[in-house]
């Protein structure tokens, strides 16, 4: 290790930071800020300046975003333990480096801006924890406000808005202490809130959770209308019946029901969690919208969870129902295969027919053809392809190629039309990088002509293609090689 530190500066900086964490953990002492400051400085100084870039092709090597992510992650254990000061020792050098780096690179960024919301939330959470004085919060607020004033000139208007609000307001906002004590009816007072208020409530709840202030968490989440957080905390503290009863009144999304079901199962009440999830699946997902993508995803996730837990509990009817719903929400090949595995030989034939009927009726199913081919339903798969819309298909789509190969024996005429329509645009537009894909499709067309007993017709067509594209030196050998396919 010592030898490597002499040749690998990044490893040396990482090792220093790990030693600092070890010392802080063993003695519960403040974390040494020097190793983290040096690591952040090294990350943001190693990428060079973007000042003289004039095009995307001239971008510098770019910052090591994975390393930034790893450095931020190192604050998470301190946040979970309620040690906000130590978390800030890690987070603030990263935020400082990003704030300094951003002005010269904002115009070139594709993903780096995604670090701002996470840093904002984590710094806000850390600043609200015990051990961070109001004087320290005031200093943080001033530093963050300076950064944000500069960043706003380059598009990051609210980079640290939540953290600044958390530092300035802390726990002293009028009425907050009464709300934490359970005396407030709504938070913020008056019942109306804006996105910043909601973000600030979220980080306050995260801080309360980390500091073990469970009753304060419950009182604030109830008053603020954070119903999912509230019922999950009730379940975690053993008040499962109360949590479930409130869920039936307050929870409106399948994702929220899933969070609570997981919490109820985690405290050892699996049957109650299964009943809750089943109730959730029966709901229409008012908060998501019946046709909303989030609704379908949330319902599929809840159904998958229920499918596995019902199987674990030996509740076969519930497992089959959940497997059915999971597939109808996703039309995913994986959900189809899992349903087959869990149903077993006795129940699979009936369930299979229901799933396939739903699949064929669906207006859109990304993996429809793969499932039909898996089930040897080639004719049904063929019927699903509109040959008038082949311009929307990719010539490199392995599923379409697989379908064409499987359909050769019984649907050769259809295969000929499909294969030629997939190959013709590549040839006519001279897309040389895709000539091999076109040749593969033409090879399929040749075999389909052979199945039909029309090899002579194919050879005539091939000769015409060779003559038409005789000047395309990369394509012509591929076309000439297809003569063997017709023999």
Question: 442-476, pLDDT tens digit by residue?
Answer: 999 999 999 999 989 999 999 999 888 888 888 88
pLDDT of residue 63: 81
pLDDT of res. 5 = 66
pLDDT on residue 247: 97
> For residue 250, what are the CA distances in angstroms to 225, 286, 317, 412?
9, 11, 28, 58
Which residues are CB-contacts of 62 (< 8 A; sequence separation ≥ 6)? 47
Across 77-104, average pLDDT: 93
pLDDT for the residue 107 = 82
Report pLDDT for 62: 67
Residue 24 has pLDDT above 70, yes or no: no
pLDDT for 111 equals 86
**Whether pLDDT at 478 is above 80:** yes
Looking at residue 120, its pLDDT comes to 97
Cβ-contact 33, 39 below 8 angstroms: no
Give the Cα separation of 190 and 184 in Å (integer). 10
In this prediction the pTM is 0.83
Tokens 């190192």 appear where?
74
Termini Cα distance of the chain: 66
Query: Any idea which residue has 């004590």 for tokens?
Result: 181
Cα radius of gyration rounded to whole Å, the chain: 31
Residue 473 backbone dihedrals phi, psi, to 5 degrees: -65, -25
Beta carbons of 8 and 2 less than 8 angstroms apart? no
Output 53 or 28, whichever has higher pLDDT.
28
The answer to whether 78 and 86 have CB atoms below 8 angstroms apart is yes
Distances (CA, A) of 44 to 41, 62, 65, 99: 5, 10, 10, 10
Give the DSSP letter of residue 183.
-
Apex CA 278: angle with CA 274 and CA 284, to 5°? 150
The whole-number pLDDT of residue 389 equals: 79
Give the model's confidence band at 206: pLDDT under 50 very low, under 70 low, under 90 confident, else very high: very high
Res. 482 pLDDT band, cuts 50 70 90: confident
Which pLDDT score is estimated for 53?
40
Contact residues for 391 (Cβ-Cβ < 8 A; gap 6+): 425
- CA-wise closest residue to 264 among 279, 284, 252: 279
Counting Cα atoms < 13 Å in the Cβ hemisphere of 133 gives 3
Q: What is the pLDDT of residue 155?
A: 85
Q: Tell me the pLDDT band of 50, cut-offs 50, 70 and 90.
A: very low
pLDDT of residue 227: 97
List, for residues 279-324, the tens digit of each pLDDT value: 999 986 544 544 454 557 899 999 999 999 999 999 999 999 999 9
Q: What percent of the chain is predicted at pLDDT more than 70?
A: 88
Mean pLDDT of 215-224: 97
pLDDT for residue 54:
38
The residue with greater pLDDT, 397 or 266, is 266
Better pLDDT: 335 or 438? 335
Q: Average the pLDDT over 408-415 and give the result.
A: 94
Instruction: Specify the range with the lowest mean pLDDT, choosing from 13-27, 31-45, 254-268, 276-290.
Output: 13-27
Report which of 394, 390, 421, 418 is spatially closest to residue 406, judged by C-alpha positions.
418
The yes-or-no verdict on residue 52 having pLDDT over 50 is no
Q: Is the pLDDT of residue 60 over 50?
A: no
Q: Is there a contact between 368 and 359 (Cβ–Cβ < 8 Å)?
A: yes
- Split at pLDDT 50, 70, 90, the class of 21 is low
Phi, psi of 422 (to 5 degrees): -80, -35
The predicted structure's pLDDT at residue 358: 97
Render 130-167 in DSSP notation, one character per residue: TT--HHHHHHHHHHHHHHHHHHGGGT-TTTTHHHHHHH
pLDDT at 272 over 80: yes
pLDDT of residue 409: 93
pLDDT of residue 257: 97
- Residue 164's pLDDT band, with cuts at 50, 70 and 90, is very high
pLDDT band at 378 (very low <50, low <70, confident <90, very high): very high
| pLDDT (average), residues 137-157 | 93
């Amino acid at each position: 290790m010592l030898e490597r530190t002499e040749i690998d500066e990044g490893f040396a900086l990482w090792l220093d930071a790990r030693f600092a964490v070890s010392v802080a953990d063993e003695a519960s002492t403040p974390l040494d800020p020097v190793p983290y400051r040096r690591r952040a400085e090294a990350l943001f100084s190693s990428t060079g300046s973007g000042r003289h870039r004039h095009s995307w092709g001239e971008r510098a090597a770019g910052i090591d975003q994975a390393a930034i992510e790893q450095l931020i992650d190192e604050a998470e254990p301190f946040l979970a333990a309620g040690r906000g000061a130590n978390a800030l020792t890690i987070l603030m050098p990263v935020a400082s480096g990003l704030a300094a780096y951003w002005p010269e690179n904002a115009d070139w960024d594709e993903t780096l801006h995604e670090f701002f919301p996470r840093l904002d939330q984590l710094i806000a959470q850390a600043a609200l924890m015990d051990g961070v004085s109001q004087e320290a919060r005031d200093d943080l607020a001033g530093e963050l406000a300076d950064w944000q004033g500069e960043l706003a000139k380059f598009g990051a208007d609210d980079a640290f808005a939540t953290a600044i609000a958390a530092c300035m307001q802390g726990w002293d906002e009028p009425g907050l202490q009464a709300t934490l004590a359970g005396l407030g009816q709504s938070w913020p007072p008056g019942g109306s809130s804006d996105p910043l208020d909601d973000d600030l409530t979220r980080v306050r709840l995260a801080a309360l959770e980390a500091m073990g202030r469970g009753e304060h968490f419950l009182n604030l989440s109830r008053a603020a209308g954070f119903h999912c957080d509230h019922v999950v905390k009730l379940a975690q503290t053993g008040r499962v019946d109360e949590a479930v009863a409130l869920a039936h009144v307050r929870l409106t999304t399948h994702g929220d029901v899933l969070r609570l079901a997981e919490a109820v199962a985690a405290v050892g009440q699996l049957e109650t969690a299964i009943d809750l999830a089943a109730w959730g699946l029966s709901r229409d997902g008012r908060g998501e919208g019946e046709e909303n993508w989030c609704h379908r995803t949330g319902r599929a996730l809840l159904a998958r969870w229920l499918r596995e837990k019902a199987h674990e509990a030996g509740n076969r009817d519930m497992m089959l129902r959940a497997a059915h719903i999971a597939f109808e929400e996703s039309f995913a090949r994986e959900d189809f295969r899992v349903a087959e595995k869990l149903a077993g030989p006795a129940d699979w034939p009936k369930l299979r027919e229901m799933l396939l009927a739903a699949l064929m009726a669906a207006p859109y199913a990304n993996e429809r053809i793969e499932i039909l081919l898996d089930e040897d339903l080639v004719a049904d798969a063929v019927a699903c392809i509109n040959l008038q819309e082949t311009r929307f298909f990719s010539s490199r789509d392995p599923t379409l190629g697989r379908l064409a190969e499987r359909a050769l024996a019984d649907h050769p005429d259809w295969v000929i039309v499909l294969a030629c329509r997939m190959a013709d645009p590549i040839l006519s537009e001279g897309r040389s990088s895709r000539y091999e894909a076109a040749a593969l499709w033409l090879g399929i067309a040749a075999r389909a002509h052979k199945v039909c007993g029309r090899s002579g017709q194919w050879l005539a067509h091939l000769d015409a293609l060779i003559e038409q594209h005789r000047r395309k030196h990369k394509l012509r050998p591929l076309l000439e090689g297809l003569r063997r396919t017709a023999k």
